Amino acid sequence: MKSVAVIVTHNRIDLLKECLDCVNSQEIPFSRIIVVDNHSTDGTKEYLDKIEDPRYIVIHSEKNCGGAGGFSMGLQEAQKDDYDWVLILDDDAMISPDYMKILIEAGEKHKDVPALCGSVYAQDEIDLTHRRRVGNKLIFSEHSVDAKEYQKDEFYCDTVTFCGLLMRGSAFRKYGIPIKDYFIWCDDTEYCLRMYKNGERMLTVPKAVLNHRTTRSENKGSILMRIEWKSYYGYRNRYDATKRHIGGLTPIVIRLEYKIFYLASIIMRLSPNEEKRKQGEFNCSLLKDVLKDTKSGYLGVREKYLWK
């Protein structure tokens, strides 16, 4: 049995070291470990170049191509061999030593599932946002799987993040690689929708545990107050994914939703509250770009929306 881990990293050398320790400590060892260094400048390149383990393939990107670009690059490398299992990880995802063992055993029992995943913990609590089901298709709403289901031995879901997703090799060869031009956000959703469209679902096995070294996002109020630079990619890519895989009236409804957000943001610009006023101005600029690019079909990076 051959397995490969594909990890994308950018300027988080300490997290990467911990992640690789977890990968190297698996009860079922990986045949190959592919690490994509997304143009790090914190010593990551030098650290990776000193690794002498022959299982490692290190790819140094000439620019930061985002999570989507990094995973696309790493998984394209993985396509060069016929692996039985392909694990997808961010550098802040710490898998328990039995993570692969638990999922592979479940996969042998459920040979019909294309992919499996474990439960994601953040700050010692299950982060429900990583394992989801599609609700209303018309507006493409996803809802997190209820916490009670994590008490079961296993459950099915429709969409998951790339945080610990284990693809069966045959499914990986069938569904290919993520869309690199998504840059960040929704690349995993779009990938899952390829399977969902074919009537296939993923299996979550809660006993396989992944600790996500991240902090939970703070509640900043309404959805309009939570729009940030990353939202450009989230909105644009969500539209593109539904256009590709859901179709019907859904893309039209989603663009209508963005137009409503835009009009609401115009009203926010009139607020006497300076924070709301500035947020409204930012939203209007971002949503105008989203509406323009969802209409034209543009994908790729916009310099206005990069890490600050």
Tens of pLDDT, residues 114-149: 999 999 999 999 999 999 999 988 889 999 999 999
pLDDT tens digits, one per residue of 90-119: 999 999 999 999 999 999 999 999 999 999
DSSP 148-176: GGGGSS-EEESEE-SSSEEEEHHHHHHH-
Instruction: Return the domain boundaries, the chain.
Output: 3-212, 223-296
| 41: CB partners within 8 A, 6+ apart | 11
Q: What homologous superfamily is domain 3-212 in, according to CATH? A: Spore Coat Polysaccharide Biosynthesis Protein SpsA; Chain A (3.90.550.10)
SS3 content of the chain, % helix, strand, coil (to 5): 45, 20, 35
Sign of torsion over alpha carbons 127, 20, 74, 60: positive
Residue 212: strand pairing partners: 93
- Give percent above pLDDT 90 in the chain: 94
Phi, psi of 185 (to 5 degrees): 70, 135
